[in-house]
Structure 1
């Protein structure tokens, strides 16, 4: 297997990992007490050892176009597309036919591309396969693995070195956690357009773009916004095959904008409300700049 971790060779794991993660935790706790006016640039090139902030994402239960079943005896199958927070496992229903995504578990790498952290899951009964296409960028499969070993430091080293069996040929790995919690790794596999996967309710999918070349005048926030804006107008189509051979297809058009947030307590950061804000609304309340989908 090719060594995918050449870029990590100068990182001194795990001591530097712990220090960087503790700093990230302190930063998030500080940010949690401040009004949010835009997506912070601190997530830029969050390669590893990042304590990604966990927020709830939007979702949708969909009735799609169905083919191949008996129209007399069949009870129409349905499947759901739910936006998913890998950090917490939480989901949220949409508002006004809009699915609001978050980029909390994403990373941008100049060589491997922009793994946006905009994740969705497929839900439903009697699903056999999942297929998806997007007319800009790609879709990636992702799962989160938890460190359950007796030696945390050794587990982190194996993730950096690409020798942990859980990696299973992943194109991208993002390690995160802190001394106060378990360590985790988000594993990502970039998929061919039109891929077909056996259905797994534990698998989530994300939106990928090639990394953009930064402008010399960009600050981190502007650069992050421009990366996110690469999804504007993209069309995502998901097709489900059920065990009886019938299919359903549903698509959405992606847009970028200012997403509403709320503060549920004094110790956690902002959570997405599922609302897309106007500029005037964003001036009056906190927001994150991100991606949402309008169901077709």
Structure 2
């Protein structure tokens, strides 16, 4: 199922993308008198019963095709695919060729850092280039969305704890990131984690480590790879993190970026993001996430 969040009358609403448009889950559930979740986190936390209710609402809405609860996708304003993650955990240097392009040693363990909810943004948003940085870089990444409480899970069972996946642009202010040994400052500026456009359930995605992944800037391809190049794959990441902290439904994990980032170029060829740049992250089965950069003044 392709889920999304959209804005309507200053509210964030849950939608399901279907062949006939976006089903407004709350509106359709009200018409059909079905007790279904109206919020993405309520859906994730509700488990199989909540998913079954949302699926039933979407199926009935598609059958009846009423404009009362079906909206053309072109008419919606997107919200972030995950609106209030309890944790935003990131894995650094997790693609072999990306580590090589930055002359970094291949990690022996996942390199973990975190972001915060101030970084959350949506497909179609304008993201500010902070005035305190001149070196903002793009990073196409696959996001894991946790579906149930996870602690000490074995690798063989880890994918069963994943609700779904989405795109993220892990924007990075390299001059701030490299100022100290801790990366947090350069990763946590406002709007630096656009998520979306969809949250696609795990059953629809299949193997998360066989997905084409790319980034374009103003239509020019900057990154083109596959999630198979990950050093630590999705099940290894989920299992590893769960050994040290309990993962909760709605937590998200950013799994690293492939080669092609600005930082990987020779210094005389580095062209960082600038005012007006349009950046698109696209991962197979997950759609395309686009934001426009604007210089903060």
Report the TM-score, using the length of structure 1 for normalisation.
0.22
Q: Which has the higher helix share?
A: 2
Report the TM-score, using the length of structure 2 for normalisation.
0.22
